[in-house]
Amino acid sequence: MVINKYLAELMGTLILVGLGTMGILATIAAGGDGIAQIVVIAFAFGLALLAGIWVVGHVSGAHFNPAVTLAMLLDRRISLADAIGYWVAQFAGATVGSLIVLAITGDPDDVAATATVYESLTAAIVVEIALTAVFVWVIMTTTRFSRARGNHAPLAIALTLVGVHLAGIPFSGSSVNPARSFAPAAVGGVFGSELLVYMWAPLVGAIVAFALHRLFPVPETAVE
């Protein structure tokens, strides 16, 4: 059923945002700071993504990210109608994930603490575009490989998200996902102009990833 694809995107994005942002709160509760905090958050999001891929990836392709869906639309792997359905489901799933976090903590300020923030606008723009481009490029490439070469895409994608967070958290909070940034900001009541960067910069990164994927195509012998 078509609706199952949208429900899968909703659930996968819920898992990504819910578990990932709970990882942020866990580091705060444990009094972590510095590199230890960055590592924990990076793996929280990477492992949450891996969990989502494993449970519903076979249904929807496991985008869980409007930027990924945009790249797949440009590459004609998904129709415009499905892309719109995916986008709605992703923002809905992320919002439900943040509402669950709110239900757990009971404090909107805790949810607000998981929102992505930046100190330098220029750095945030460059980081979000560049890291989204790398992340989405990996997704586009690894999902094109034949199963005969080994289904390594889930692990490669999850580890790339870990790397993206390790590199980007100090500069932009490492969103690379408009839905991930929107939900905690909206539920936590910090829905300000700063959020705009996290809405459009990852989409630009997705366009860059699509261009790179076309520039360095996967050989036909490696594709089913």
Q: At residue 107, what are phi and psi to the nearest 5 degrees?
A: -135, 115
Report the number of distinct structural domains present in the chain.
1
Assess contact for 142 and 153: CB atoms under 8 A.
yes
Assess contact for 144 and 221: CB atoms under 8 A.
no
Q: Using 50, 70 and 90 to split pLDDT, how confident is the model at 148?
A: very low
Residue with token string 């945009």 = 70
Alpha-carbon span 52 to 62, nearest angstrom: 7
Closest listed residue to residue 47, CA positions, set 185, 160, 209: 160
Q: What is the mean pLDDT of the segment spanning 183-193?
A: 93
pLDDT digit string, tens, across residues 83-115: 999 999 999 999 999 999 999 999 999 999 999
Q: If you count them, how many residues does the chain have?
A: 224
* CATH code, domain with 198: 1.20.1080.10
Helices marked H in the chain: 2-29, 34-60, 66-74, 80-105, 108-112, 121-142, 153-172, 178-188, 195-215
For 90, the domain range is 2-222
Per cent of the chain over pLDDT 70 is: 95
